[in-house]
Structure formats: structure tokens, C-alpha cells
């Protein structure tokens, strides 16, 4: 009988599967929204979390509210659209904490605009942050991971905007589609180094900012994004007539919009040892919305059959200038 030409992984004790103790994560855009929730979950699992944003005051606030968690959270000002900042971010993480084990490419900018309206400035701003910035940060972090030889995790945040054809978010959709392509290429190239590369696709997610907008009745902010409704006018009417909950129930099989922690739990899953053998995949976290309406086959990705969202809504005056 010949020996197996593979090393079989040793079964890990159950309590270690979720632990990130001894690991260092970079989370971009960790000062609010989905990124902040991810920072918390990783720190709860024991990781040292270096998280970024462009505004220092918001970083300090998250440092304060995470101070009691098992892991350490350190905010670093960095613009992900600036490659020098990203190089420095990885160098600083290495100097202070020994290197990068987990990278969460979460920071993004999402100004709306139709394909006919899009100009070069919008294209460059969006692609520089959401695609080029995320790609090169992954490259710098992966170089560090390869050199250390401990494997690693890279997780890229996408959007249902690229899964569906999304009028009004033309360049954003293109930017996220590019990041999905990068995810799959990197997954192939980095697998021999035990570095997994996956994507997380949020459906409509009610961040604190949007909840505040909803509470204050600022429909432009609530509807300017991608609530799970494909007719913003219908949503506006539903909010005004107190029927918004009923509308969401109709649109989302799980009966509610997503919240940042829904994404953070999925990020934790992909970051920890539970997901050791998963790479090149995309997890759509949208309460089943993308499974509820078939819009036709697509070769782009396995989870492409999605319901229209407000991201795919026709242009409307209620949209905010920046998502």
C-alpha cells in the first residue's frame, strides 16, 4: 500500500477553530459601518486588528469602544487610494505586530452616476480606491504573508451592484467586478502558500449612518444606497405611509435588511480556521434576496441570479451624491 502524497490537516479542537489569537488583521475602512463591525468580531476572536480610515477622530472613537475586547485594535490613518499609504500600512503592521495574517479589503467609495454621466474624474476616483487600492494592498499584504510562510486570509468586499446590471452605479459596478476578478486570480496564485482569497457581497445593509437617516426621515440618504427595493419611489411612499417594514418583508426572504454584524460574522468565518480550505469563493450576505428572483444566467460568478435592488433602480432625484 502506498502512502498518501498529501499532508492531511490535523483536526483542531473545537474551541480553537474560531480563535484568532496570535493573528494580526488589517481592516480597511474600519471606522464605521460594516468595517467597524468586522473590527469588533475579529478583536472578539482575539486578533490584533489594525484598522484604517482617512479621518483620525473616527478611528480614535472605535479604539475607545473596542478597548475592552480580548484583541487589540489600533487605528491608522491611511487613504487606500494612495499606494504609498498602503505600503506604509503593511510596513507599520509588520514593524509593530510582526506581519499581516488577515487582510479585509472593506474600504470603498460609491458615488452614483450613470454610464452616460460618468467622467474620467469619477472613474479614476472609484477605480483608484475600490479596485486598484484593494488590489495593491492585497499584493503588499500577500508578499508579507508569503515571506513569513504562515499562510493567510484575504477577504474583499464586493457589492450586489456588480452581480446585477446596475444603472446609476455604473462605474461602481465595474470597480467591484474588477475586484471579483482579482479575488479569483489571487486565490489561484496564492493557494500554494496557504493563503485563501475570498469575497463577501453585502446585500442592502443598514449601517448606523443609514439607521440615523431613517430615524430622522432623511429619505435621500436611506434611499440613496441599496436598500432591498428596486423602486425607490415605492420605498419612499412605503416609509411615508408606515409600510416600509412590509415592503422589506416582501423583497427580502429573511424579512429584514442586513446589518453590519451579518457581514462581520461571515468575515469572521472566512478569516478563521473553519474556512481553511475555502478559496476563490464569494459569499452573498443578503437574506436570500439574490435567490428570490431569477434574472437569468451569467458566467461571471456562481451567485449571479439576483433580485434587482435599489442599486439597480432607475435614476431618481432621491439618491444621495455619495453612498
Ligand X SMILES: NC(=O)c1ccc[n+]([C@@H]2O[C@H](COP(=O)([O-])OP(=O)(O)OC[C@H]3O[C@@H](n4cnc5c(N)ncnc54)[C@H](OP(=O)(O)O)[C@@H]3O)[C@@H](O)[C@H]2O)c1
Q: Which residues are catalytic?
A: 159, 172, 176
**Coil, helix or strand at residue 112:** coil
The Cα–Cα gap between 246 and 286 comes to: 17
Q: Which stretch binds ligand X (CB under 6 A): 19-27, 78-86, 300-308, 313-321?
A: 78-86
The Cα–Cα gap between 17 and 87 comes to: 31
Number of residues located near ligand X, criterion CB under 6 A = 31
Q: Is 28 in the site for ligand X (CB under 6 A)?
A: yes
Shortest distance (Å) from residue 300 CB to ligand X? 16
Q: Is 101 in the site for ligand X (CB under 6 A)?
A: no
Residue 285: what are its φ and ψ, rounded to 5°?
Answer: -110, 85
The Cα–Cα gap between 111 and 321 comes to: 6
Binding residues among 127-156 for ligand X as defined by CB under 6 A: 129
Residue with cell 500554494: 192
Can you name the residues that pair with 285 across neighbouring β-strands?
A: 202
Q: Is 214 in the site for ligand X (CB under 6 A)?
A: no
Q: Which residues contact 260 (CB under 8 A, 6 or more apart)?
A: 33, 34, 36, 37, 38, 205, 206, 207, 208
Shortest distance (Å) from residue 277 CB to ligand X? 25
Q: Is 86 in the site for ligand X (CB under 6 A)?
A: no
Among 25, 27, 53, 229, binds ligand X (CB under 6 A): 53
Shortest distance (Å) from residue 283 CB to ligand X? 13
Q: In what order do the strands lie in the sheet with 282-285?
A: 73-77, 48-53, 24-27, 102-105, 152-157, 195-202, 282-285
Q: Is 107 in the site for ligand X (CB under 6 A)?
A: yes
- Cα dihedral 17/18/19/25 (nearest 10): 120
Q: Which stretch binds ligand X (CB under 6 A): 46-54, 141-149, 270-278, 289-297?
A: 46-54
Nearest to 184 by CA among 197, 202, 200: 197
Nearer to ligand X, 78 or 177 (CB): 78
Nearest to 185 by CA among 171, 165, 174, 199: 199
Binding residues among 221-280 for ligand X as defined by CB under 6 A: 225-226
Binding residues among 185-204 for ligand X as defined by CB under 6 A: 202, 204
Among 17, 19, 44, 54, binds ligand X (CB under 6 A): 54
**Residues in contact with ligand X by the rule CB under 6 A:** 28-29, 31-35, 52-55, 58, 78-81, 106-110, 129, 157, 159, 202, 204-205, 207, 209, 225-226
Amino acid at each position: 500500500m502506498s502512502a498518501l502524497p498529501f499532508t492531511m490537516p490535523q483536526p483542531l479542537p473545537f474551541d480553537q477553530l474560531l480563535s484568532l489569537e496570535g493573528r494580526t488583521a488589517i481592516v480597511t475602512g474600519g471606522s464605521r459601518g460594516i468595517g467597524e463591525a468586522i473590527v469588533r468580531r475579529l478583536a472578539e476572536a482575539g486578533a490584533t486588528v489594525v484598522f484604517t480610515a482617512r479621518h483620525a477622530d473616527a478611528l480614535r472613537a472605535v479604539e475607545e469602544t473596542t478597548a475592552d475586547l480580548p484583541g487589540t485594535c489600533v487605528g491608522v490613518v491611511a487613504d487606500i487610494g494612495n499606494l504609498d499609504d498602503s505600503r506604509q500600512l503593511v510596513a507599520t503592521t509588520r514593524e509593530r505586530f510582526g506581519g499581516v495574517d488577515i487582510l479585509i479589503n472593506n474600504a470603498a467609495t460609491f458615488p452614483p452616476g450613470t454610464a452616460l454621466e460618468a467622467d474620467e474624474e469619477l472613474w479614476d476616483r472609484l477605480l483608484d480606491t475600490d479596485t486598484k487600492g484593494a488590489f495593491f494592498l492585497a499584493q503588499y499584504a500577500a508578499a508579507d504573508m508569503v515571506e513569513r510562510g504562515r499562510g493567510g486570509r484575504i477577504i474583499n468586499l464586493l457589492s450586489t451592484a456588480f452581480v446585477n446590471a446596475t444603472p446609476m452605479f455604473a462605474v461602481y459596478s465595474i470597480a467591484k467586478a474588477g475586484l471579483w476578478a482579482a479575488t479569483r486570480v489571487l486565490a489561484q496564485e496564492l493557494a500554494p502558500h496557504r493563503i485563501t482569497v475570498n469575497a463577501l457581497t453585502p446585500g442592502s445593509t443598514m449601517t448606523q449612518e443609514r439607521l440615523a437617516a431613517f430615524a430622522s426621515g432623511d429619505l435621500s440618504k436611506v434611499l440613496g444606497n441599496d436598500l432591498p427595493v428596486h423602486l425607490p419611489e415605492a420605498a419612499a411612499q412605503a416609509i411615508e405611509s408606515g409600510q416600509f417594514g412590509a415592503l422589506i418583508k416582501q423583497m427580502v426572504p429573511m424579512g429584514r435588511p442586513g446589518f453590519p454584524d451579518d457581514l462581520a460574522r461571515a468575515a469572521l468565518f472566512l478569516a478563521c480556521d473553519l474556512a481553511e480550505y475555502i478559496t476563490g469563493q464569494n459569499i452573498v450576505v443578503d437574506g436570500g434576496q439574490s435567490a428570490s428572483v431569477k434574472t437569468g444566467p451569467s458566467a461571471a460568478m456562481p451567485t449571479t441570479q439576483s433580485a434587482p435592488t435599489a442599486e439597480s433602480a432607475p435614476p431618481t432625484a432621491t439618491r444621495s451624491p455619495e453612498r
